[in-house]
Structure 1
Amino acid sequence: MEPLMAVLVGITFATAVYMMLRRSIVKLIIGLTLLSNAANLLFFTASGLTRGAPPIIPEGAEQPAGAVADPLPQALILTAIVISFGVLAFALVLIRKAYQVVQADDLDQMKDTDT
């Protein structure tokens, strides 16, 4: 499963970089979103894809019995998702305001406008 996830992460990173290099500011935001999702997938894949029980230690035992899932990568990825949603919301508001002022979606046209 890990090789398939590695290929998926690589394709997602490549798509994100391609979208971020386009001239449209909307495609830039789509690329930024894809980049954050690819980073989350990379971290999740690197931490190991194991199916297991929650890491609860029974009373009187030194360690959990059997395979357990590591909750730390899941917590870090959840935090990254929340932060990336906040960045996306801020970028969308900023882009909307820039479009209202400049009346253009192309980054080159935004640069050449004197306002």
Structure 2
Amino acid sequence: MEKLLTNYYETGAIILFGIGFMTLLLNNNLIKKIIGMNIMDTAVFLFFIAKGYIQGKEAPIISGNFKGVEGYINPIPTSLMLTGIVVAVSTTAFALALTVKIYEKYGTVELDKILNKGE
């Protein structure tokens, strides 16, 4: 229980991922599925950024005296998460554009109604 309270960013990320996953699975509305996917993306970003942080070290922006390599946090996990955010935004935009086209064709964004109309 103590580890759960000291790692509250990771715990929050796991809870958010579960909420997003259940939203993705349990809803038939395509917009709600996209929202669930975005919640899952955010949870993954939060988890990796929380794991990349090291207590007592600074961001690798040198101002003043150089503290040596051991005085700074590795910038690679943060830059990878920035790239992931760009990919997530692009994926969301593409999914929303597809949803608009599906709505124009079928007149609904409910997945079960779309599947029944295709028969």
TM-score tier (shorter):
0.7 to 0.9
Where does residue 12 of structure 1 map in the other structure?
16
Aligned mate of 1:38, from 34, 43, 47: 43
Whether the 8 Å CA contact 2:52–2:78 is kept in 1: the answer is: no
The structure richer in helix per residue is 2
RMSD: 2.5
Please state how far the C-alpha of 1:19 moved relative to its aligned partner: 1.1
For 2:69 and 2:118, locate their aligned partners in 1 and report how far apart those are by CA, in whole Å: 67
Trace 1:94-105 onto structure 2 (pairs within 5 A): 94-105=98-109
Please state how far the C-alpha of 1:67 moved relative to its aligned partner: 2.2
Q: Name the amino acid aligned to 1:103.
A: G
Report percent identity of matched pairs. Answer: 26
Please state how far the C-alpha of 1:49 moved relative to its aligned partner: 4.1
Please state how far the C-alpha of 1:53 moved relative to its aligned partner: 4.2
**Unpaired segments of 5 or more residues in structure 1?**
none
The TM-score, its normalising length taken from structure 1, stands at: 0.84
For 2:75 and 2:53, locate their aligned partners in 1 and report how far apart those are by CA, in whole Å: 11
Aligned residues: 112
Closer/same/farther in 2, CA of residues 100 and 25 from structure 1, 3 Å limit: same
Closer/same/farther in 2, CA of residues 23 and 49 from structure 1, 3 Å limit: farther
For 2:17 and 2:61, locate their aligned partners in 1 and report how far apart those are by CA, in whole Å: 32
For 1:77 and 1:2, locate their aligned partners in 2 and report how far apart those are by CA, in whole Å: 23
Aligned mate of 2:76, from 72, 77, 80: 72
For 1:18 and 1:107, locate their aligned partners in 2 and report how far apart those are by CA, in whole Å: 16
For 1:112 and 1:92, locate their aligned partners in 2 and report how far apart those are by CA, in whole Å: 21
The TM-score, its normalising length taken from structure 2, stands at: 0.81
Where 2:10 maps in the other structure, the secondary structure is helix
Where does residue 60 of structure 2 map in the other structure?
54
Q: Name the amino acid aligned to 1:14.
A: G
For 2:72 and 2:29, locate their aligned partners in 1 and report how far apart those are by CA, in whole Å: 45
